[in-house]
Structure 1
């Protein structure tokens, strides 16, 4: 039996490329499991194998506990029991007694095999994770081993397998058994079956890594890809930048006669790739990203992190793209929300907003249209700016003297004070309902603010949108969504 154990350990270790220690532990577990069957209940058994000779001994174990903690007769003994046996073993320690060992041959085809297989799988997974942990976000190559309804199983070699979900395949893309495949190692996912390598061919990083493979300047870090966005199988955009003025970043990615970008496109099932020049100026970056459409003008709204992009009427369809594809990719590439419109619509919108601002200045500051227009043209967008912009800046405006500036600033500050007082009065008169006050995530001040805006009950809050709540000072999108979801909880409870 001893020689047989050594032979099994040697053979399995060599075949599976797993450390012998792992196989010895598996055999010990299997022998202990077989020995436990001789006892009732949850007996504890340990087997120790001499890894040099293959000889092994079996021990039954008991946890030593205080009398008042005794609860498991099959696996526990008390300190009093130890005293009666003349042993000085304290609570928390383990008492062992050698028992007859099971013969290895009796269990070789059953328990030992199962445990060894399980241990080997665990060891292989651990080895696989160690091998691929530094390859996450990189390209890997393999062969289609199995096709299931939800995914492809890819053999990466050296006993490593990966899963490529069907939704991570490019549109209209099909693979058969034994086909060679290239994909991005997106993550190492932990589940009930252990660690699993998950691949993707639809992520923007897959395209970035393909360019890194095809364009030596990227691999050498002379050229940098600063952003990427994809509509898998249809169209993609990448933004590139270089600090070396001798290199044309777009030309380097395109390659001689388009060879480099064509190689990337072919790997992505014919996906068209727009290569644009990265610019640290967000507006210029958006102009570059909207290519091939030409941009007439851009208005930036820093607060909402959005831009109004104006194009000529005959260029609108190209700027938006089929099903909004071009503007959607440009938005994903730049990180800005882009509102594309004709130059005429942009001008009309700007005139409308300017007129609103002029009307605000006229009514709140009690000034004539000409002065209000001048303020708007100088870039003043709020009453707060009129009140608190430094005196020196306002004196630089043509026709503005110290008396006029002081008068404007005084009127603006009085208007702001009146608005604050009115808001305070509204808060004091607001009476939120008890269910709104007691709602999870609510505080008294916010409840008063909501009530002042007509949102008095949880039902009222449930009918609001996130955008409506964002109008409240200090409110962010995450909290607004959570509050609305909490307020709507009774709706879902009723439907159930």
Structure 2
């Protein structure tokens, strides 16, 4: 390979792979040095360099010039393999440097193929990412050649490649989609304060406006729901609740629980816990199916929320208790408390029985001895 061929090779790799020329020159020099060691052995006496202007290869061994043609066929093959390896490593580094700073960014790609037990390989921006099964929206019917949006959640060097992990169930995709669909969010007039999500089922997003003339809820929904409709479709029909943020935790929690109406909210600031009283008719709505609504409200507001309601006169106690059990963790807590109460009641009954026995002289010394 003469100097002109080396310069052409470096230029082609530089343009196609977007790798700096100096990195390519260094890789070729290292490859040629490794090839030369097959013939001359290792040592500091062997030096190889490439003229950056002419592409001419200069090789010396023990201070004397040597002909690179003398490296032999095996050495030439080794050099070729090393050059390919160095190019791949350089290409990996280029991709890594570009995408490591793009974590959390929204990308649009095409599902190229499905790798069993792993997930979909997604093609975007001339690179490939991986959409693992655990990062997909549960129940979403994805197919090869589908176009999808996802956020970058991780970038790692794996061998000679860079692995880019994508996600469609990460809360960041909600933020990015709203930034894409709502100009007021993109220009910071409307701010997303927090996001709580159960992928594939429901999302709650808290927003506020820095401009009194701009309604944050209306801006996110759009005329006749035009803006939020596109986001819901992208997320395979996932329900989205938009909540008006407020710096007052009490007002914020009240807004987040709507359409359920609250009667009273007690805040324990030292433990970040809120006791929320609702009307009997609002209990199921506030808690949600299997406690989903109150869990999302807790995530959204950052408060541990306990919802309760007083029993109406004449209403069976067990009916009220059964609805309360929908709140996650309440059932276990109530059962534990019932066990403790039962034990205490049993102890009281036994104590009363002993007292009665003493009073009625039914307790005999022989009974005590037989029990020992």
Same fold (TM over 0.5): yes
What residue is the counterpart of 1:220 in the other structure?
187
Q: Which residue of 1 aligns with 2:258?
A: 291
From 165, 183, 192, the equivalent of 2:150 is 183
1:153 aligns with 2:154: no
TM-score (norm 1): 0.58
Aligned residues: 308
* Aligned with residue 316 of structure 1, among 273, 277, 283: 283
1:235 equivalent in structure 2: 202
The 3 A distance-change label for structure 1 pair 343 and 298 is farther
- Check whether the contact 2:89–2:160 (CA below 8 A) recurs between aligned residues: no
- Matched-pair contact (CA < 8 Å) for 1:142–1:182: yes
Distance 1:101 1:28, change over 3 A: farther
Q: 1:219 to 1:25 in 2, by over 3 A?
A: same
> Per-residue deviation at 1:133?
4.3
Q: Deviations over 1:376-421 (max 9, x none)?
A: xxxxxxxxxxxxxxxxxxxxxxxxxxxxxxxxxxxxxxxxxxxxxx
2:11 matched to 1:21? no
- C-alpha displacement of 1:101: 4.4
What's the offset of the Cα at 1:200?
A: 1.3
Query: Which residue does 1:48 correspond to in 2?
Result: 49
2:244 maps to 1:277: yes
Contact 1:305–1:336 (8 Å) recurs in 2: yes
Tell me which stretches of 4 or more aligned residues in structure 1 moved more than 6 Å. none
Partners of 1:245 and 1:119 in 2: CA distance:
57
2:5 and 2:157 map into 1 onto residues whose CA distance is: 36
Q: Look up the match of 1:102.
A: 68
State the partner residue of 2:228: 261
User: Quick one: distance in 2 between partners of 1:109 and 1:142?
Assistant: 40
Contact 1:145 1:154 in 2 (8 A): yes
- Retained in 2: the 8 A contact 1:57–1:98? no
Match of 2:272 in 1: 305
Q: Distance in 2 between matches of 1:262 and 1:12?
A: 45
**SS state at 1:5 partner:** helix
Cα gap change, 1:277 to 1:155, in 2 (>3 Å): same
Q: CA deviation at 1:99?
A: 6.0
Higher RCO by CA contacts (8 Å cutoff, separation 6 or greater): 2
1:58 maps to 59
Correspondence for 1:11 = 12
- Contact 2:109–2:122 at 8 Å: present in 1 too? yes
Assess if the C-alpha contact under 8 Å between 1:31 and 1:107 holds in 2: no
Query: Considering only aligned residues, what root-mean-square deviation do their CA atoms show, in Å?
Result: 2.5
For the residue of structure 1 that corresponds to 2:141, the secondary structure is coil
What are the Cα deviations for residues 56-98 of structure 1, in whole angstroms up to 9, with x where unaligned? 23345xxxxxxxxxxxxxxxxxxxxxxxxxxxxxxxxxxx644
Which segment is superposed worse, 333-342 or 223-232?
A: 333-342
Which stretches in structure 1 are left out of the alignment for 5+ residues?
61-95, 346-496
- 1:15 and 1:109 map into 2 onto residues whose CA distance is 24
TM-score, normalization by structure 2: 0.75
1:339 and 1:191 map into 2 onto residues whose CA distance is: 46
Task: State the Cα distance separating 1:131 from its structure 2 match.
Answer: 3.2
